[in-house]
Amino acid sequence: MKLPLGLRALLLAALLLATFLATFLAPPPVTADADISAAAAGYSDVAQASAADAAHIPDARSGRTAAGHSAIAPRAAISSGRGSPRAGPLAAPAWSWPLSPRPAVLRAFDPPAKPWLSGHRGVDLETAFDGVPLKSPAAGTVSFVGTVVDRPVITVDHGNGLRSSFEPVASSLRAGSAVAEGDVLGQVQAGHCGPAPPCLHWGVRRGEDYVNPLAFVMDLRPSVLLPPLKQVRDAASDAGFDARPVRRRPRADTAAAAWL
């Protein structure tokens, strides 16, 4: 049975669209880096990065770090074990922001190319004042509360290998405390970004891999642009199909209803 030209053009357009989506939406291959032993076992996730990141705290007025790098320099990569970047597909956001209202990002996730190099293994979020409540972005169990170097730190284990660490945060919770999404973990203290503006450092690990915390609260997946309709029609025409739009006469009852 021979299909109408309009239906054949529609089927061709659907085939072209499916081919386009399969080509450009396929996730990139993930390569595993060589495993490197942890440099500081027993410390919290934030503590392992503090020394390397100390020289990269942004100036509150200029928005640039002591090394001259821009405070907002997003990196389109998820970092692998202990700091080296690894490409990987991003998922839709599933957590809530740890601060309310939604904070400004003073410094973005920027992991080092090698685990022993300086970088930024988390994000710095602006707070309006000292003492702002910190809320758990997802349900979990508090795994660490204490002072690392000179900063109060709290870490929450969310399960499935995911852990969030926050500093500087004063908390009355203890390790082993169960928390739900949105529960208050403590109060943000001054000291991480200098005297002003105050900020919260938030780091997330998946196993031993540093990952971008913003990927859990924002949709960082790239936008996909569909081909213009004219391009689809031209391709259908080149293939011998009549891709002109089908014009239908309105039914009598529809035309009459327009005058009511």
Residue 254 has, within 13 A of its CA and on its CB side, a CA count of 4
pLDDT at 122 over 70: yes
Residues 133, 138, 139, 140: is their CA dihedral positive or negative?
A: negative
pLDDT at 119 over 90: no
Residues 225-236: tens digit of each pLDDT: 666 777 767 777
Tokens 């396929």, located at residue: 26
Q: Which CATH number fits domain 45-216: 2.40.30.10, 3.50.50.60, 3.90.79.10, 2.70.70.10?
A: 2.70.70.10
Whether residue 83 contacts residue 115, with contact meaning beta carbons closer than 8 Å, is answered with yes
This prediction's pTM:
0.54
Domain boundaries, the chain: 1-16+227-245, 45-216
pLDDT at 39 over 50: no
Q: How much of the chain exceeds pLDDT 90, in percent?
A: 35
For the chain, the straight-line distance linking the first and the last C-alpha, in angstroms and rounded, comes to 42
